[in-house]
Amino acid sequence: MDGHRFRSPLGRAMGLGSAKAGFGHWWTERITAVALIPLSIWFIASLIAHSGSSYEAFIGWIGSPITAVLMVLLLTTLFWHAALGLQVVVEDYVHSGVKIWLLLATRFACFALAAAGIVATLRVAIGVWTAA
């Protein structure tokens, strides 16, 4: 993330503005938030549409290429957004030596969960594709 995009050359030369990665963090949180609006609404609407449906119907839905792509996008964006948000929460409220470990743990957990969710989605989708 290019954190210098919104800083003027003069401001940069004079050393004004954030010294760290604050801007990139803030901006990425917004990008993922905007992306999550349609993705999360699509997800909730799809879940409602599948209320009470069978395992087979549900698997067939995840297995359709569009659903699989959107699900991977949702998982990526969601856990990216969660990682950024949880980081701020830890930074604001945890001030002991636990802080660095919590920051590491939340970040690792978000990446691991995103990876696990994506692999599970692909496993379902590939199962449907090879069966067809």
Partner 1 sequence: MEHFSSKHMRPLSPNIQIYRPQLTSVLSIANRITGVFLSACAVILVIWLIAAASGPDAYLRFHDIIASWPGQILLLAATFAFFLHLCGGIRHLVWDTVRGFELRQIYVSGWIVVVASVVLTVVCWSASLLIAGKV
Nearer CB in complex with partner 1: 13/49: 49
Residue 89 Cβ, how far from partner 1 at the closest point, in Å? 6
Instruction: Name every residue whose Cβ is closer than 8 Å to that of residue 75 and which is 6 or more positions away in sequence.
Output: 114, 117, 118, 121
Nearer CB in complex with partner 1: 9/58: 58
The contact set with partner 1 (CB under 8 A) reads 30, 33-34, 36-37, 40-41, 44, 47-49, 51-52, 55, 58-59, 62, 71, 75, 78-79, 82, 85-86, 89, 110, 113, 116-117, 119-121, 123-124, 127
Amino acid, res. 60: G
Residue 123 Cβ, how far from partner 1 at the closest point, in Å? 4
- 90 burial (CB, 10 Å; 0-12 / 13-18 / 19+) is buried
CA–CA gap between residue 132 and residue 118 (Å, rounded): 21
